[in-house]
Structure 1
Amino acid sequence: MPKEVSQQKAAVLGLQHLLAMYSGAVAVPLLIGGALKFNSTQMTYLVSIDIFMCGLATLLQLMRNKYFGIGLPVVLGCAIQAVAPLVMIGKKFSINTMYGAIIVAGIFVFLIAGFFSKIKKLFPPVVTGTLITTIGLTLIPVAFQNMGGGNSNAKNFGDSKNLIVSFITIAIIIALEIWAKGFLKSISVLVGLILGTIIASFMGLVSLKPVIQASWFHLPQFFYFGVPKFEWSSSLTMIIIALVSMVESTGVFFATGDLLHKNISEDDLKRGYRAEGLAQILGGLFNTFPYTTFSQNVGLLQLSGIKTKRPIYWAASLLMLMGLLPKVGALVTIIPTPVLGGAMLVMFTMIAVQGIKMLLQTNLNDNRNVLTIAISIGLGLGVTIYPKIFQNLPQTVQLFLSNGIVVASLSATLLNLLFKKGSGEK
Structure 2
Amino acid sequence: MAKGIHPVDEVLPVRQMLALALQHLAVSYVGSVAVPLIIASALGFSQSETILLISATFFCSGIATLLQTIGFWRFGVRLPIMNGVAFSSVSAIIAVGTMPGVGIAGVCGAVMLGGVCIMLIAPIAGRLRRFFPPVVTGCIVTAIGVQLLPVAYQWAGGGHGSANFGNPGYLAIAMLVLIVILACNRFGSALVSNLAVLCGLAVGALVAVLFGMGDLTPVREAPWLIVPTPFEFGLPTFAILPFVTILIVMLVQTVESMGLFISIGDIVDKEVAPEQVADGIRANGLASAVAGVFAGFPFIAHMENVGLVILSGVRSRWVVALCGLIFCVVAFFPKFGAILAAVPAPALGGAGIAMFGIVAAAGIQSLAKVDYANNRYNMLIVALTLAIAFIPILSPGLLEQLPKWSQSVLHSSVVVACLVSVTLNLLLNGAGGDCDHAHHPLHRNPESGPSTDELGSMKMQANV
TM-score by length of 2: 0.88
Give yes or no for the alignment of 1:165 onto 2:173: yes
Stretches (4+) displaced over 4 A: 421-424
The letter of the residue matching 1:32 is I
Aligned to 1:59: 66
Q: Give ranges in structure 2 of 5+ residues lacking alignment.
A: 1-5, 437-464
Q: How does 1:166-181 map to 2 (within 5 A)?
A: 166-181=174-189
Give yes or no for the alignment of 1:425 onto 2:425: no
**Cα deviation, residue 385, structure 1:** 3.2
> RMSD across aligned C-alpha pairs, in angstroms?
1.6
Give yes or no for the alignment of 1:96 onto 2:105: yes
Q: How does 1:278-357 map to 2 (within 5 A)?
A: 278-357=286-365
Aligned to 2:88: 81
TM-score by length of 1: 0.96
Give yes or no for the alignment of 1:36 onto 2:43: yes
Q: Give ranges in structure 1 of 5+ residues lacking alignment.
A: none
1:307-336 per-position Cα deviation (integer Å, ceiling 9, x unaligned): 112211221121111101111121111101
Most deviating of 240-249 and 141-150 = 240-249
Give yes or no for the alignment of 1:271 onto 2:279: yes
Query: Contact 2:371/2:378 (CA < 8 Å) preserved in 1?
Result: yes
1:341-378 per-position Cα deviation (integer Å, ceiling 9, x unaligned): 11111111111112122212311233311111111111
Query: Contact 2:135/2:434 (CA < 8 Å) preserved in 1?
Result: no
Give yes or no for the alignment of 1:369 onto 2:378: yes
Give yes or no for the alignment of 1:149 onto 2:192: no
Q: Distance in 2 between matches of 1:341 and 1:197?
A: 11
Give yes or no for the alignment of 1:242 onto 2:250: yes
Aligned to 2:133: 124
Aligned to 1:203: 211
**Cα deviation, residue 4, structure 1:** 4.2
Number of residue pairs matched? 425
Aligned to 1:217: 225
**Cα deviation, residue 5, structure 1:** 2.2
In our comparison, the structure showing a higher alpha carbon Rg is 2
Aligned to 2:33: 26
Q: Distance in 1 between matches of 2:204 and 2:255?
A: 35
Query: Contact 2:143/2:386 (CA < 8 Å) preserved in 1?
Result: yes
Structure 2 counterpart of 1:410, from 419, 422, 437: 419
Q: Classify the secondary structure of the residue corresponding to 1:71.
A: coil
Query: Contact 2:389/2:413 (CA < 8 Å) preserved in 1?
Result: yes
Query: Contact 2:21/2:322 (CA < 8 Å) preserved in 1?
Result: yes
**Cα deviation, residue 106, structure 1:** 0.8
**Cα deviation, residue 249, structure 1:** 1.8
Aligned to 2:441: none
Aligned to 2:142: 133
Query: Contact 1:49/1:324 (CA < 8 Å) preserved in 2?
Result: no
Q: Distance in 2 between matches of 1:4 and 1:90?
A: 42
Most deviating of 414-423 and 25-34 = 414-423
Q: Classify the secondary structure of the residue corresponding to 1:292.
A: strand
Aligned to 1:109: 118
Q: Classify the secondary structure of the residue corresponding to 1:331.
A: helix
Query: Contact 1:176/1:188 (CA < 8 Å) preserved in 2?
Result: yes
Aligned to 2:446: none
Relative to structure 1, is the Cα distance of residues 128 and 194 closer, same or farther in structure 2, using a 3 angstrom cutoff? same
Aligned to 1:389: 398
